[in-house]
């Protein structure tokens, strides 16, 4: 068994060397297909990363009435805390709200609220609630608004809605683009491998006459496809890695890369995801390409 696999592997490597032109063509087709897929993946990973950042920054402010009782406040806290989608609750006293507002205004403008302090702060106390999923905010806001002692609830309604629909669109678009590109990639690789197999149809027919089983004939081609796929995938990862580092490096110097101050996904994160997917994807493309291409030539 091990000896047979050794023969397959040796044959596959020899075949790659002997048919170097076709092997290079196969690797190039794997690289070009995977680079395009990789660019789409990198964009999708970044969009996810950025929307996660935006989602993390989204919060619901639950303003409390000034004359709220301790029991009502506790009931509100318990009610919010019991919600599964809530990830964090912070209490903001009237003074905290005043200080925060003062910070927002800055030293020059804070003079307009200089007469206010803890006792006469015009700003209401509030709970600042964070959620795991942006999609949960709207429902939670409605429920909390009905509780006794709640003056009002506020969240970036437009931002949340835009983010949700954008996220949905990007996910859908990514899958569609990846599916189309995958089909194109399989088609390109299938045709290239078919040419390789065609150039060796004589060899295959001899094997058939000699009495080699279909499995024996097929395996070196499949291993060859697999090796070319992995090699193509590794080359694509290296190229994409350099390209991504170049883009991240070029954007690092600029101050406002993105409108809301988010950053691009770190190269390590992107490349880790892409590398794993690519190696499997390369194996899949190479193997499938070989397996389907050789099928026709086995009927001797």
Partner 1 sequence: MIDFVNVTKIYDGDSEFALKDLTLSIDEGEFVFLVGKSGAGKSTIIKLLLKEILPTSGKILVSGTDLSQIKERDLPYYRRKVGVVFQDYRLLETKTVFENVAFSMEAIQTPRRTINRVVPKVLNMVGLRTQARKYPSALAGGEQQRVAIARSIVNNPKILICDEPTGNLDPVTSAGIMNLLMDINSLGTTIMVATHDMTMVDRMKKRVISLKDGELVSDRVGGYYK
Residues 4 and 141 sit within 8 Å (Cβ to Cβ)? no
Residues 137 and 145 sit within 8 Å (Cβ to Cβ)? no
Residues between 211 and 230 with contacts to partner 1, criterion CB under 8 A: 211-214, 216
Report residue 199 as tokens: 């150039």
CB of 27 to partner 1, least distance (A): 20
Work out which of 146, 209, 254, 268 binds partner 1, going by CB under 8 A.
Answer: 209
Q: Is 202 in the site for partner 1 (CB under 8 A)?
A: yes
Q: Angle formed by the axes of helices 267-295 and 157-199, to 10°? A: 40
Q: Is 199 in the site for partner 1 (CB under 8 A)?
A: no
Q: Is the CB of 180 or the CB of 300 nearer to partner 1?
A: 300
Q: Which residues of 164-177 are buried (b: 16+ CB within 10 A; e: fewer)?
A: beebeebeeebeeb
Q: Token match 């015009």: residue? A: 122
Q: Which stretch binds partner 1 (CB under 8 A): 59-67, 143-151, 207-215, 259-267?
A: 207-215
Residues 282 and 238 sit within 8 Å (Cβ to Cβ)? no
Q: Is 18 in the site for partner 1 (CB under 8 A)?
A: yes
Q: Which stretch binds partner 1 (CB under 8 A): 75-83, 145-153, 208-216, 248-256?
A: 208-216
Residues 6 or more apart whose CB falls under 8 angstroms from that of 155 comprise: 58, 59, 60, 61, 137, 141
Task: Label residue 76 exposed, middle or buried (CB < 10 Å: 0-12, 13-18, 19+).
Answer: buried
Work out which of 210, 250, 256, 259 binds partner 1, going by CB under 8 A.
Answer: 210
Q: Which stretch binds partner 1 (CB under 8 A): 63-71, 97-105, 176-184, 204-212?
A: 204-212
Residues 72 and 148 sit within 8 Å (Cβ to Cβ)? yes
Q: Is the CB of 209 or the CB of 250 nearer to partner 1?
A: 209
Q: Which stretch binds partner 1 (CB under 8 A): 20-28, 142-150, 161-169, 199-207?
A: 199-207
Work out which of 3, 107, 158, 268 binds partner 1, going by CB under 8 A.
Answer: 3
CB of 50 to partner 1, least distance (A): 53
Residues 6 or more apart whose CB falls under 8 angstroms from that of 210 comprise: none
Q: Is 24 in the site for partner 1 (CB under 8 A)?
A: no
Residues found near partner 1 in the complex (CB under 8 A): 3-4, 7, 18, 202-203, 205-214, 216, 300
């Amino acid at each position: 068994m091990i000896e047979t696999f050794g023969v397959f592997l040796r044959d596959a490597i020899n075949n790659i060397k002997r048919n170097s032109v076709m092997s290079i063509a196969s690797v190039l087709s794997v690289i070009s297909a995977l680079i395009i897929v990789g660019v789409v993946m990198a964009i999708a990973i970044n969009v996810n990363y950025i929307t996660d950042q935006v989602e993390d920054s989204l919060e619901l402010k639950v303003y409390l009435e000034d004359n709220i009782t301790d029991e009502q406040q506790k009931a509100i806290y318990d009610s919010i805390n019991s919600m599964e989608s809530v990830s964090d609750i912070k209490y903001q006293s009237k003074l905290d709200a005043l200080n925060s507002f003062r910070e927002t205004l800055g030293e020059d403008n804070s003079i307009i609220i200089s007469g206010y302090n803890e006792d006469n702060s015009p700003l209401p106390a509030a709970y600042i609630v964070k959620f795991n999923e942006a999609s949960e905010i709207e429902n939670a806001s409605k429920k909390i608004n009905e509780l006794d002692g709640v003056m009002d609830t506020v969240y970036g309604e437009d931002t949340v809605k835009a983010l949700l629909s954008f996220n949905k669109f990007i996910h859908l678009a990514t899958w569609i683009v990846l599916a189309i590109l995958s089909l194109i990639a399989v088609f390109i690789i299938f045709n290239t491998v078919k040419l390789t197999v065609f150039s060796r149809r004589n060899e295959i027919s001899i094997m058939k006459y000699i009495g080699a089983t279909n499995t024996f004939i097929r395996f070196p081609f499949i291993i060859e496809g697999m090796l070319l796929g992995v090699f193509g995938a590794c080359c694509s990862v290296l190229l994409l890695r350099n390209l991504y580092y170049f883009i991240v490096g070029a954007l690092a110097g600029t101050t406002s890369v993105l409108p809301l101050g988010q950053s691009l996904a770190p190269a390590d994160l992107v490349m880790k995801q892409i590398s794993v997917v690519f190696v499997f994807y390369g194996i899949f493309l190479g193997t499938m390409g070989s397996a389907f291409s050789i099928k026709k030539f086995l009927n001797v």
